[in-house]
A and B are shown apart, each in its own frame.
Chain A
Amino acid sequence: MLNKLMKHELRATSRLLVPLYLILLFISIINRFAFKLYSYSGIVGIISKFLIVTYVISIFVVIIVTVLYMITRFYKNLLTDEGYLMFTLPAKTHQLITSKLLITLLWLIIGIIAVLISLLIVFAVPDTVSYTINEIKEIMSILSREFGGSWVLVFTELIFISLLSLVGNILLIYVSIALGQLFSNHKIIGSFAAYMIIYTVIQFLMILMLIPFGVYTSKNSMGVSSLPQVIFPAAIIILMLGCTCFYLATDYIFKRKLNLD
Chain B
Amino acid sequence: MNSILQCESLSKKFSGSAALSNINFTIERGRIIGLLGPNGSGKTTLLKIINGLLVPDTGKVQISGMEPGIETKKIVSYLPERTYLADWMKVSDTIDFFKDFYGDFDAKIADDMLKRLKIDPNKKLKTLSKGTKEKVQLILVMSRRAELYCLDEPIGGVDPASRDYIVNTIITNYNENAAVLISTHLIAEIENILDEVIILKDGTVILHSSVDDIRTKEGKSIDSLFREVFKC
Contacts and interface: CB of A to CB of B under 8 A. Distances in A.
Given A88-B73, A92-B70, A15 B88 contact: yes
A8 B15 contact: no
Interface in B72-108: 73-74, 76, 78, 80, 82-86, 88, 97, 100-102
A87 B80 CA distance: 12
Contacts of A91: 70, 73, 101
B86 A258 contact: no
A82 B94 CA distance: 12
Interface in B10-49: 14-15, 48
A79 to B, nearest CB: 11
Interface residues of B, number: 25
B101 A90 contact: yes
Contact of B85 (A85, A92, A257): A85
A8 B84 CA distance: 15
Contacts of A260: 48, 53
A12 B97 CA distance: 11
Interface in A122-160: none
Nearest to B152: A84
Contact of A90 (B48, B55, B70): B70
A244 B220 CA distance: 60
B84 A85 contact: yes
Contacts of A258: 53-55
A90 B51 contact: no
Interface in A50-102: 77, 81-85, 87-92
Interface residues of A, number: 23
B78 A88 contact: yes
Contacts of B78: 84, 88
Contacts of A4: 100-101
A256 interface: yes
Contacts of B85: 82, 85
B97 A88 contact: no
Interface string B178-214: 0000000000000000000000000000000000000
Nearest to B79: A84
A184 B15 contact: yes
B97 A87 contact: no
A64 B5 CA distance: 48
Interface string B126-149: 000000000000000000000000
Contacts of A88: 51-53, 73, 76, 78
A260 B76 CA distance: 19
Contacts of A87: 52-53
B179 to A, nearest CB: 17
A84 B73 contact: no
Interface in A168-187: 184
A84 B53 contact: yes
A81 B84 contact: yes
A208 B54 CA distance: 39
A31 to B, nearest CB: 31
Interface string A21-63: 0000000000000000000000000000000000000000000
Given A15-B88, A90-B71, 20 more contacts: A4-B100, A4-B101, A8-B97, A12-B86, A12-B88, A77-B86, A81-B82, A82-B85, A83-B84, A84-B78, A87-B53, A88-B53, A88-B76, A90-B102, A91-B70, A184-B14, A184-B15, A256-B55, A260-B48, A260-B53
Interface of B: 14-15, 48, 51-55, 70-71, 73-74, 76, 78, 80, 82-86, 88, 97, 100-102
Q: Nearest 10 A-B pairs (CB), nearest first? A: A85-B84, A84-B84, A81-B82, A84-B80, A90-B73, A90-B74, A89-B101, A88-B78, A81-B84, A90-B70
Interface of A: 4, 7-8, 12, 15, 77, 81-85, 87-92, 184, 255-258, 260
29 contacts: A4-B101, A8-B100, A12-B86, A77-B86, A81-B80, A81-B82, A81-B83, A82-B85, A82-B86, A83-B84, A84-B78, A84-B80, A84-B82, A85-B85, A88-B51, A88-B73, A88-B76, A88-B78, A89-B73, A90-B71, A90-B73, A90-B102, A91-B101, A92-B70, A184-B14, A255-B55, A257-B55, A258-B55, A260-B53
